[in-house]
Structure 1
Amino acid sequence: MTREVLILAHTGRRDAVDAAVTVAAKLHQAGLRPVMLERDIADLKTSVGAAFEEIPVAVAEREVPTSRCEVGMVLGGDGSILRAADLVRSAELPLMGVNLGHVGFLAESERTQLDESVQWVVEQNYTVEQRMALDVQVWHAQQHIGSSWALNEASIEKAVRERMVELVIEIDGAPVSTFGCDGVVMATPTGSTAYAFSAGGPVVWPEVQALVMVPISAHALFARPLVVDPDSIMAVEVLQRDEEEGVLWCDGRRMMTLPPGSRVEVTRSDTPVLLARVHQTPFSQRLVDKFNLPTTGWRGPLEKGARDRRGSVEMKPSESLEQAASATESSSAVQDGQQ
């Protein structure tokens, strides 16, 4: 049976168009069947012409169900990966990102590794990692008015630039604080290095099971980022004091207007996002690489041999305050006698 690979490209970028043609050709040469969205195929035919038309590419869903593909190769930046995750959400398809953008936290490789990325797919040289996602439910006047999901974050923001929005934040059914602000971000560990990071939130390692809530420019004494249990229910209510509306954004892609009195509940989703991983680079190293962090002066942990040669000197238990004071007085008396 022919192996099928989905290619998702940011067809509005020339480098992504060229990369898509290269990937499709190499997959075909390796005996795999490239699959693309119908609109992406049309865009590539317009941009490239005959060079692309010679490659037999199947149309996703019409000729090949997305769920039948073994992996999706995403050519673009983190935004392209978020778009791809939305498109294949119901297919349980792992995504391998090739970064053609700037930071590219979600990507597995860079543009210089395009050929290697194709080879990893051909040889099935990758593991599948699960990333926590968010389930988002919206209520108003006791009525359910909308639902969505997010890989990075769900953010409630003010609808009018010159006015704050009044919000109440809640964790597990208990109110925590009320304040006027520009908004609140509720994020996964994956999203902790995105919008939540820009708003002053903590960096959370992807392996950590937790949810994050970060107020944005809140006028309050207590408006600190909160890190809560992954099974907690985070909620935000839009107050009706000034009749100001809010806006809900999920991953910066899906938007919904929040009338005064709206309530947004965010929990861990039952459906994680699957990422195809090749490199086992520690997340700390990814932070250093992506943010170009200075590490000058780092000496590193001791080698095993050095650890085994530890000396036998033991630290003594701390003295009591009375013993320390007595020792100080004795030392001063001796010094006075010597003068």
Structure 2
Amino acid sequence: MSRRVLIVTHGGRPEAVAALSEAVRELTEAGFEVALHDDDLAESFGDHMAAARAREGVTESEAVMVLGGDGTILRAAELTHGTGVPLLGVNLGHVGFLAESERDDLRHAVRRLAARDYEVEERAVADVAVHLPGEETPRTGWALNEATVEKARRERMVEVGIAVDGRPLSSFGCDGVVMSTATGSTAHAFSAGGPVMWPEVDGVLLVPLSAHALFARPLVIGPRSTYTVKVLERSPVPAVLTCDGRRRIDLPVGSWVEVRRGALPLRFARLSPAPFTDRLVSKFSLPVVGWRELAAKRPEHRAPGHDAEHDAEHDAEDEKEA
């Protein structure tokens, strides 16, 4: 029986077209049957029939190879969520935090896939339930990165109430609230001042956006707890919920959103056993050596009267010991 790989790419970019051509050639030579999916997959929030139609044929695939940046991977995640099929990301974007391989390593990634030489890593998602005024049944969805409640109009703040496990915690005016998984902690929540969470942290993060309040700090709850964010009756503007920057639903005044750790994780094919710390340093180009250490080793910064030859000997000895 032939092995099958589904490719999702950003078809409008020249570099994606070139990468697609190479990927199809390499996969075919490795014995795979290749299927392409380059449509915009985003469905309306809670439109599960559309999601089911988009996933047709995915379960017959061994993996979904994504050629693009994090946005394309989030798009492909709509295909694989709930199927158990792993995603293998080849980065064509800027940061590519979710990608496993870079463009130059495409042939190597195909060879590893053909040899089944990869590990499968599970990433938790957030389950989202939206309660709208006048509707008895909540509308449900999910997010890999984050679910964001934001003001629907820019001229006024939205007034929200925050609760954890049904117990009121705080209320304030703000531009919005980001509720993020550990995976999404390096995305919208990070840019809003939230902490970086290692992938194995089994929790959900909440970060207020420009809150007008004394107590509006990032929060992290455990896997059995639930956030509730309500658009209060006194709010001068409604809100909108967006999941992963793609699936959205309007939130009239009086609506509330519940977010918890999801039951069905997403699966990623990992080619490298490198720890998350190394990935963080690489993707953000973090300076692991401080400027003070670098300055101390420059001759022009050494104090007058120092024996440069003596210092050089000590530097050589330090390098040997290191």
How does the TM-score come out when normalised to structure 1? Answer: 0.79
1:145 deviates by 4.6
1:246 aligned residue:
239
For 1:184 and 1:258, the matched residues in 2 are separated by 13
Match of 1:220 among 213, 217, 221: 213
Correspondence 1:25-174 to 2 at 5 A:
25-37=25-37, 39=39, 65-141=57-133, 143-174=136-167
What amino acid does structure 1 have at the position aligned with 2:274? T
1:274 deviates by 0.4
Match of 1:267 among 260, 266, 269: 260
Alpha carbons of structure 1 residues 165 and 71: separation in structure 2 relative to 1, 3 Å = same
SS in 1 for 2:213: coil
- Larger Cα Rg: Structure 1 or Structure 2? 1
What amino acid does structure 2 have at the position aligned with 1:241? R
1:292 aligned residue:
285
1:319 aligned residue:
none
What amino acid does structure 2 have at the position aligned with 1:7? I
For 1:145 and 1:231, the matched residues in 2 are separated by 20
Unaligned 5+ segments in structure 2 are: 41-52, 294-322
For 1:83 and 1:12, the matched residues in 2 are separated by 15
Deviation string, structure 1 residues 207-259 (Cα, Å, up to 9, x no partner): 11111011000000000000111211111000111441000000000011000
For 1:132 and 1:186, the matched residues in 2 are separated by 13
1:38 deviates by 7.3
Unaligned 5+ segments in structure 1 are: 41-60, 299-339
For 1:100 and 1:127, the matched residues in 2 are separated by 22
Q: Is residue 221 of structure 2 the alignment partner of residue 209 of structure 1?
A: no
SS in 1 for 2:220: strand
1:8 aligned residue:
8
8 A contact 2:11–2:17 mirrored in 1:
yes
Percent identity, aligned pairs only? 53
For 1:248 and 1:157, the matched residues in 2 are separated by 7
Structure number with higher relative contact order (C-alpha < 8 Å, ≥ 6 residues apart): 2
Deviation string, structure 1 residues 166-199 (Cα, Å, up to 9, x no partner): 0001111111110000000001000000001011
Match of 2:276 among 273, 283, 300: 283
For 1:74 and 1:242, the matched residues in 2 are separated by 41
1:88 deviates by 2.2
How does the TM-score come out when normalised to structure 2? Answer: 0.83
What amino acid does structure 1 have at the position aligned with 2:206? M
Correspondence 1:185-204 to 2 at 5 A:
185-204=178-197
RMSD: 1.9
1:39 deviates by 5.0
